[in-house]
Amino acid sequence: MKSNIQKIMLIVLFFNLTAYASPEEDLEIFRDHFKKRFPNTEFSDYKNGVYSIDSSSREQWESIEDFPPYELNIEQGEELFNTPFKNGNSYASCFENGGIGIRSNYPYFDEEKEQVVTLEQDINECRKKNGEKPLSYYKGGPMADISAYMAYTSRGNIINVEIPNNDKAIDAYEMGRKLYFTKVGQLNFSCADCHVYQTGSKLRADIPSPGIGHPTHFPAYRSSAGRLVTLHERFAGCLNRVRAKPFKAQNAEYRNLEYFMTFMSNGLEINGPGSRK
């Protein structure tokens, strides 16, 4: 009986989030699902990903965070961030508040460019404006380090992504939402299959994390990779796992997906970089 009720609830959730609901209505439905699914989890704790719902592995994770494996990345990111470009400028010249404490402002919809803009994208825009070559978006490295440092300076800031009353912005949000719920690849999986419908359940040896809170702790040091991984690199990894072809780095699909997922995490604190399995 309980499983039938859960199935009905998930069908209702999927229908509402793929019908013509406003982003605010989507947010209410999405949060209500997790509130019912995990009634003992405080909303603020969703910033901790799977450890907000899996007490058995939380203690081990907390001990790792006592001596975080990404400390060196933060130090390297700070050094890179403050190292002047050849023209004498630095990253601070490109960002509001000198680039400190602004991670929670991303992603945002740029009405002039008519597209979603991510932090990593703006880091490379800054480099190009100052005559420097863009950094690679994948395989960790300087991009992940700089992003990690900027996230670290933003810890405790609250995510408050806005969807402007603009047709292009709404379209970007809806495309991100559609991708989140669309089954892809040879295994026919969607983001929602793992992080909405099956979260809290065992999938092979893993427990999928809740769909709320994913963007809060990226870039994340993943033990399985032995390095920092950006959010979009994680998107690509998930697509590979379901045997779907990943999109190009910082493609509109990834940026729109980040837009939707971050909006669903509004109200949570930035606590990146984080550590994950």
* Strands of the 220-222 sheet, one edge to the other: 227-229, 220-222, 274-276
Asked if residue 68 lies in contact with residue 275, where contact means CB atoms within 8 angstroms, the answer is yes
The alpha carbon of residue 209 and the mean position of all alpha carbons in its chain are separated, in whole angstroms, by 12
Say how many residues make up the chain.
277
Asked if residue 231 lies in contact with residue 218, where contact means CB atoms within 8 angstroms, the answer is yes
Place of tokens 């907000």: 52
User: Could you tell me which of 186, 214, 181 has the C-alpha nearest to residue 197?
Assistant: 181
What is the DSSP annotation of 255-276? HHHHHHHHHTTTTPBP--SEEE
C-alpha to C-alpha distance for 43 and 135, rounded to whole angstroms:
35
For β-strands 115-117 and 274-276, DSSP reports them as: unpaired
Contacts of 25 (CB under 8 A, 6+ apart): 16
Q: Is residue 94 annotated as part of the catalytic site, yes or no?
A: no
Instruction: Please identify which of the residues 126, 191, 194, 238 carries the catalytic annotation.
Output: 238
Please give the positions annotated as active site.
Answer: 238
